[in-house]
Amino acid sequence: MRVYRVPERIGAFLFDIDGTLYTDREYGRFQVEILVRELAALRGEPYDDVAALVERTRAELAAAEGRASTSLGNAMAALGVDIGTSVEWRRRLIRPERFLSADPALSAALSGLRERFGAAIAAVTNNPRSVGEATLEALGVRGLFSAVVGLDDTMRSKPAAEPYLLAARLAGAEPGACVSVGDRYDVDLAAPLGLGMGAILVDGVEDVRRLAEALA
């Protein structure tokens, strides 16, 4: 865990979901592979060739932006899959309940954060909102989140600023009173820091479970 900035008073925590609120490499790979297979079918090209093309495109976009990485959604858009199509594919293909189950320790940690700091908890995901909500339901924590901002809410993929600004507004907090928590600096934290938000880099759900202790 690395704490980049924390405001004097925290009004809201804005959590990334995938790779942050759960740690499941198989599910992470599945989400990428299923979308690349759709793109390969659309292009009529072998999966391995398209997978390599997607990774090259991600690297090129990140280099052009001066970042270490960028989102899969941005790479897909650069390859002709607009955000609306990406949203439709993800809604149709991604089923978090097949991979994830309730995490009582995560629920206790998030409840502790809300109580300790009197802060709202929101989620910002590059999946559609329905997939984000289904993920939180599978983890048994949906009721703790006052807002979930998905790809279809702004039609902009992180690291764009718009999803974070919307999440802050829905959480009822000024951007400068928000803390973004995620597992990828360039995707989850760089934009919030640029907006004056706090930012905390985690390695996965184990770090989230001890977040309140770290902030103390």
| Cα 76 to chain centroid, rounded | 17
| Confidence at residue 65, expressed as pLDDT on a 0 to 100 scale | 82
Q: Which residue has the higher pLDDT, 69 or 59?
A: 59
Please report where in the chains the tokens 């060739």 appear, as a residue. Answer: 49
Residue whose C-alpha is closest to residue 76's, from 27, 35, 46, 34:
35
Peptide bond into 159 cis (omega under 30): yes
Give tens-digit pLDDT for 110-148.
999 999 999 999 999 999 999 999 999 999 999 999 999
Q: What is the pLDDT of residue 66?
A: 84
| Mean pLDDT, rounded, for 148-175 | 96
Prediction pTM value: 0.92
Average pLDDT of the chain to the nearest whole number: 95
Q: Tell me what percent of the residues of the chain surpass a pLDDT of 90.
A: 89
Q: pLDDT-derived band of residue 214, with 50, 70 and 90 as boundaries?
A: confident
pLDDT (0 to 100) of residue 102: 98
